Structure 1
């Protein structure tokens, strides 16, 4: 029942919000964001805990104000996404400003291919639509399967409608990594959101002074195909969204591929941390992010602080 309600909510958003005047949608988004923020649910509390790492030393009032701005930014992302399918090319172009585009166009002109790696900031769907419609560059991305399956299908159709090739992360019957590598060897572009992977496959990185995990995929793809690895940061600036494509992260010297992958991933994290520090309200991280926040880590910490007496003689 919950899955059906969620899917119905998204369906209503895509069907209804694109028909409303933009000022109405903007006010509605802020009202929904504020109502969610006031309820102090799990996601809002986690957002504030994450922002406390980004802005250490902030007072409780400052963190509350920042989390409110963060929820408004997050709801703005959703409101824009529901309306993007009916935006004209001109409107998309007017809503985004991009710096560093030469790093992308140079890599593609050289036939290298490019791995665009982003954190969960602002609206990467808008950035992707701009790349397709303004630059005429198609690209491939990956989508994590959602439940219900009909909701996943809606997201795939939405992003394909914006001009993206979307690969399902699991359950597609083929090698996602292999397909991405082929696209890059063809001199094309791959776009990956890559600031969180708390699974066993994630690589440990230092982020705002603490350890978390991020996916190895962007760095591994760049190493194995010779593609340019380009970090991107995004943020809202009044009515427009701004994006910066940063200089490529090239593999360092060394025969140990694993060490090179870890070093490249850490450099990605460093670029993203700088962007998030400048625009923390546009980092939409409402989930546990640092390893210290995971239940197993807290349990281990509590056990170390309160050791039990030995039962062995």
Structure 2
């Protein structure tokens, strides 16, 4: 499929910090693509460069066929953007904000009113739609800002951590709206720290850490990088954890991970034979089990394996690179 967003060797520095350190992306039209990574990884910087808000120090990027530096105005006519922080007019009502964005997007007066009313209903804003935005809570402002970004279906929509601060109901509404836009042909690039969000929405995911793409692929491909299936054991008594760890280590040949709070011990598993071997070892050691089973690796485990060192970066790097 033709790439509607393409980045080649993008570099962006803030002083001595490389927020982007040679990022390559190729994103097909009509898809959802997620940037996944810890705070300070460079996700927001990448979106700001692609949305023409920042000029890269090196490399090249195109959006909808136009260079983000040489043809920035053409890019802006074809994109929508919802940043991390609500960008709405506090001196207007929510309804007036949406209608204003519609008119600025060249909708007719009637279409701007109709679309605003539709989104007010979808985002459960009816009770506050005619109140000044300065009276809104932070979460309500976020919903209004997201509604404004969806007033007109653009060729490309950039969403920077779009559901941060939303409750589960409104997060689900946002997911449904994203799917509808993609079905209509919009390409969506979103950054997120919600692993479930990336798993549920994105066809492909780029894991970014310290300004670099450290892994890229479908959710299934990324999960397969973490030793495929996992074996989980939940013991009944806290004192049985050491024996369970020894059993899993003996059978799998890997160092198990332990969740002390849930009494869960986990390790890579290559086959059902591994499960049977662990059961025999645990039975021989007299360990009482609350649960045991095989499961697919999760994006959480991919995230932790690929970006484990990322959370230890300096605070100044986190502040400027996010």
TM over 0.5: no
Structure having the larger proportion of residues in strand: 2
Structure having the larger proportion of residues in helix: 1
Larger Rg: 2
Place the TM-score, normalised by the shorter chain, in its bin: under 0.3
TM-score (norm 1): 0.24
